[in-house]
Structure 1
Amino acid sequence: MENIGKFLDGCYSYGVARSDLFQTVDLFENQNMTQVVVGLHALGRKAGAKGKRGIGPKESQENKRSFTEEQRRAGEGVIGLQMGTNKGPSQAGLNFGKIRAIID
């Protein structure tokens, strides 16, 4: 258990975020192996970002964007597709639990 704790401290000092790492008991008592795998992938991403051979996808880089006040006002009138759309086929008119009337 002590070696696992030293490994986690080493990962943190290498630059891996604490939120990506697992707890010692997760590995020692085989409790949360999913979080262990997440932690190992986070270490692999950090190693890849530092020029070493890593595993998993590349670590993302910061991409700040700045908009003018005019661009912000123009975007206020746009309805996002998360709210839905009225274009294309929809499920309007479906009747669940009723028979389908195919004869007049």
Structure 2
Amino acid sequence: ARLLVLAAMCREHLLLIGPPGTAKSALARRLAGLCGGSFFERLLTRFTTPEELFGPLSLTELERDRYLRLTEGYLPSASVAFLDEVFKSSSAVLNTLLTVL
């Protein structure tokens, strides 16, 4: 829990690794509640797409030849994010996450 607080204070990322049932997601939810920020949680699988994390493309903007994602309620707009089973996701998702981290 100390590292979670330290990461939050430094505005850095934290990787929590542990067996199921050790309150990893509960810690992340609690942190979001304490900060008063938005929380994003997703269970990643090999079928998870970048759109599920970063939001869908705006069709209106695509018609105008602009590439714009609707990110409200998705990972880019979250104060605290919890990505469960991150190592089970596809290489497309992992590579896209590199831009955020």
> TM-score by structure 1 length?
0.25
Largest Rg, 1 or 2: 1
Whichever structure has more strand as a proportion of its residues is 2
User: Looking at both structures, which has the greater relative contact order when contacts are Cα pairs under 8 Å and sequence separation is at least 6?
Assistant: 2
